[in-house]
A and B are shown apart, each in its own frame.
Chain A
Amino acid sequence: MLKSDCNISLACESLESLSERTFDIGIFACGYEKRSRFFSEKLQSNKFKHVILLGFDTHKDHPTRIENEVVFRKIYDKIPVLIPSNDSNTVIKIISNVLKYFDGSEECRIFIDYSSMSRTWYTHLLFLFKYINLDVKVNIECVFGYVGGLYTQKSVHRTIRNIYSLPGCEGVPRTTKGTLALLGLGYDSLAIASVLDQLEPSKVIAFYAEDEKANGAPLRVIEENKILLNTMDIQSFQLDYLDVEDVFRVLSEIVMPYIDDWSINIIPLGPKTHTLSCVLLSQKFPEISCLYIDGESKIPYDVDASGCTSIYRIDYISPRKSEL
């Protein structure tokens, strides 16, 4: 087993505990979903010394997007900085420019509302925070906030533009041993099938989120992926939708028997909370590669907030510090 360069600590927080704290930076995304303004409406604007508001550079005339802009302008007096959804470098540059003010400081507290953020953006933020923590030695206390969504529309299939591993999550593939694909199922079953066709893993273990509004009804994710699950030899299991720490722990246990001999790829296509756990897993275990599916759907998908939140404080601790 390779020696990891960091230990990761996760601590669950509540919306109430957030209300009692202040942050140096708040990072928000103005998207096409109503839930993108959930945290901003719940928390007071004076909680954040600096606010960074990111916005997608396409479908700017989408009605919900226009509504969200109005709300954000009212709360923070800001208009979004427009960035393509798959542009990670600009996001890192914008955030690191603000973070430069904290060089030499003891710590910096950041809140990130990733409910409606593009996966590229928040996964790269994790990469940046790990670097600033471990290499620049500024203790970043980052709190990732997510609010569940109500998905009412039919699934929209994406066209896959590219598949690549997230920075810092490349893994160290073995050339001749088996390949394990740890697959986070989402609603786009065709994208999943295409990835599996290309990856050709020796073994697939799938996980999916329980549906917070299912009330005993068959899970939509299972329905959407019925053909795949019925025709392929896939072991699958259900994980909590919002408990990032639990998902991280369970996935760690699953990969342990494979870590020494297999190439492990984790492909999160389910909820963002699961994606967050997967990236952290790959940061913790350097053997694991976390693949990112850069897809494009023609129509933006509006999602309202369900009200259920998942708020986690993430700390990167260098192995030396944790030994002390």
Chain B
Amino acid sequence: MTIENTNLFEIENARSMDIEQIALTFVPTQAFWRMLSRKHNIILGSRGSGKTALARMLSHNCLKKLNDAKAKDYIRDKSFIGLYVPTRLDWISALRNKPWKNSAEKELFFQWFLNISICQAFLETTKSCIDSYSSDKGAAARVEAEIVEALAKVWLGRELPPEKLTITSIQSIIREIQYCRQKEYQAQLMEELTGRKVSAITSGSEFDVDLFSPLYIGKDIVSNFLNIPNSSTWLVAIDEAEFLDKDHQRILNSHMRAYSENVSIKMTTTPYGHYTTETNSGAMLDPGEDFEYVYIDQDPVTYSDYGNDNSTNPGYELSFAKMVFKKRAQFSGGRYAQLSYQNLFGDSQLLGSTKDDWSKGSGLRQALLSEANPSLIDRAQEFFTKIDQNCEEDDIKRFNDSVGRKVGGRLALRMKLKNIKGNGKTDAYSGFSMIERCCDGNPRRLVRIINAMLKTSSNWRKRSYSPRIKLSEQSSILAEFGKAQLDRALPEPNGPELHQLITDAGIFFSKQLLNEPLRVDDYCSIQFTKDSFDHYRKVIERGCELGLLFPYKKVTGALPYDEGEFRLAFVLAAHFKVFPRKGKSIDVKKIPRSPDQMRIDFEC
């Protein structure tokens, strides 16, 4: 199945896709399958890491389209009935513009507003369930009318005429209610500001009830008509909770803490976007007990550390990035359907060091002996002597494990960069493994990079026989893309400080790679102690949100981390001319501020 005339590499976020597209191109990860449970979850991830795709895929109308045996079983058995509730920027911005008199008023409006949105999402899911669980169209129409009639009675407190007994009609009525209340709030605000008598809010008072209670009533009605068992779990996927504030999240926390029947909340937000564990009852939400964090930037599947295939993506023969590429190409149709990442990008010259030639007289061995520091030279020489004398596979393997794999790529990069003459440019940042590494396991980043490559590549645009994108073009695009990613931090709150910290670190790491004798391990990450974390807290939080800083997998302490080692995003490697690896970490206080001229060079 393909989607006619659509280049899916141009669609970079899950919101832009229709249900068919999202289901066809979705690559289920471990995090996704973990979501299909009765436990409440808070899904943390940087921008573009696939949170929205994950939340949307939980909804019934998307899950039923997923070509996966487990998903089909869940739909058939009515095990999980999901609804997708975005609390996106345009939604929340209507909450931000009101001068609330007190927090109670603010909370009540939020509850009302979210109840309305949940009901609208619930109606979409109901439509999907009716389609799935009705024997024919006639039966579907009958059950739809019965359900709407019952919902109108409990939600709106009235009966609807027969011609209005459709889901579309009740959705329109709820929209009208929402609009009327907005108008009442506007009038109230103006009355207050202009010193006139303030009118009362009356529209939509039916939804001025506890959060989720219209859903609880609604799900019982739908379950009754569609024979959905009590053992089913209703998943409420609340997307983009980073736009909510602490007070709003406290309300949601209270529901996670309380008994919530067979309703499970799945809330997506940025790595530091769960602002509080407080609840309205005074008790704190207990991670592990009341809910579980799932950090998708560290999902073993998406976080394809070194682009290994089936070892990092159990159940699939390819790595996450390769799967994303393959599905997008396949379902784009036309000339995209024949695309393969090998043909388009080729192999990386720097990654995949097990194939490096370290034999006697090889360029790599000579380079190591001239570029490394004395202790590394001694260590390597020991291995080389054994390898040359015995020619045994075990010795080669031991050398690769302790030296070759760690220095091979960096050494090759260093030599390539040193050999650039005049205004020449490097082609080192090329090949699919490099692209895969530089996307940091972030699907939006991957799709954007591939799209930029396709749009820029002369071979691809000329419809040349060989679609291979020139290595130098790949390298330039990765460098420009990395710079653009970093610059995107500038308009964000604390963005200029983040930009400065990363630029200083990037320049420091780059100088170290090029100018200092090669060591087994270089600095490529930043260490924050508790004190320095507190000092840089807002900057680090913004860095993690934007996917420019990533905490290590083995960082100590529970989520969200408040100390430890943070690596620079690999997407910045080509911009700073560093090797994309996490390496050793250096205390943030030891990173020198770069000379102004050097900063300007990097900014131009």
Contacts and interface: CB of A to CB of B under 8 A. Distances in A.
Whether both chains belong to one complex is answered with: yes
Interface of A: 2, 5, 89, 92-93, 96-97, 99-100, 127-128, 131-132, 135-136, 157-168, 170-176, 178-179, 188, 190-191, 193-194, 197-203, 227, 230-233, 263, 265, 286, 289, 291, 295
B491 A263 contact: no
B94 A170 contact: yes
A190 B491 contact: yes
Interface of B: 10-13, 15-18, 47-48, 52, 84-86, 88-91, 93-94, 96-99, 117, 120-121, 124, 175-176, 178-179, 182-183, 186-187, 189-190, 193-196, 243, 448, 451-452, 455, 484, 487-488, 490-493, 495-496
Given A200-B88, A230-B455, A158 B94 contact: no
26 contacts: A2-B176, A96-B193, A96-B195, A131-B190, A135-B190, A158-B491, A159-B493, A163-B89, A163-B96, A164-B96, A167-B98, A167-B189, A170-B94, A170-B97, A171-B94, A173-B90, A176-B84, A176-B120, A176-B121, A179-B88, A179-B90, A188-B491, A190-B490, A197-B47, A200-B16, A291-B89
B190 A128 contact: yes
Given A166-B97, A173-B90, 17 more contacts: A100-B194, A135-B190, A160-B492, A163-B93, A173-B88, A173-B94, A174-B120, A175-B117, A178-B16, A179-B15, A179-B90, A190-B491, A191-B491, A200-B16, A203-B16, A233-B10, A289-B93
A interface secondary structure, majority? mixed
A165 B94 contact: yes
Pairs of residues from A and B, 10 with the lowest C-beta to C-beta distance, nearest first? A170-B94, A164-B96, A96-B194, A131-B190, A165-B93, A202-B16, A233-B10, A175-B120, A164-B97, A164-B93
B94 A190 contact: no
Nearest to B480: A227
Contacts of A93: 193-194
Contacts of B47: 197-198
A154 B94 CA distance: 34
A100 B195 CA distance: 9
Contacts of B182: 170, 172, 286
Contacts of B97: 164-167, 170
Nearest to A260: B172
Given A2-B179, A194-B492, A202-B15, A168 B89 contact: no
A156 to B, nearest CB: 11
Contact of A168 (B52, B186, B491): B186
A231 B448 contact: yes
A199 B88 contact: yes
Given A96-B194, A96-B195, A231-B451, A171 B10 contact: no
Nearest to B187: A135
B452 to A, nearest CB: 5
Nearest to B61: A176
A200 B15 contact: yes
A289 B124 CA distance: 22
Given A176-B84, A199-B90, A227 B484 contact: yes
B491 A172 contact: no
A159 B496 contact: yes
B182 to A, nearest CB: 5
Nearest to A175: B120
Contacts of B91: 173, 175
Contacts of A160: 491-493
Contact of A92 (B86, B194, B491): B194
Given A175-B85, A191-B491, A200 B189 contact: no
B386 to A, nearest CB: 51
Given A162-B96, A172-B179, A193 B193 contact: no
Contacts of B189: 167
Nearest to B127: A176
A201 B179 CA distance: 22
A233 B13 CA distance: 12
Contacts of B11: 233
Contacts of A188: 491
A179 B56 CA distance: 15
A175 B121 contact: yes
Nearest to B85: A175
A308 B488 CA distance: 34
Nearest to B243: A198
Contacts of B448: 231
A157 B91 CA distance: 26
Residue with the greatest number of chain A CB neighbours at <10 A, chosen from B85, B97, B455, B488: B97
A198 B484 CA distance: 16
Contacts of A127: 186, 190
Nearest to B193: A92
Contacts of A171: 90, 94
A194 B190 contact: no
Nearest to B95: A164
A197 B176 CA distance: 30
A307 B52 CA distance: 48
Nearest to B117: A175
Nearest to A289: B90
Contacts of B452: 231
A99 B196 CA distance: 12
A132 B96 CA distance: 24
Contacts of B487: 190
B169 to A, nearest CB: 14
A198 B47 CA distance: 8
A135 B179 CA distance: 17
A2 B455 contact: no
A159 B492 contact: yes
Contacts of B488: 190, 193-194, 197
Given A173-B91, A197-B488, A161 B179 contact: no
Contacts of B88: 173, 179, 199-200
Contacts of B492: 159-160, 194
A161 B493 contact: yes
A251 B98 CA distance: 27
A231 B455 contact: yes
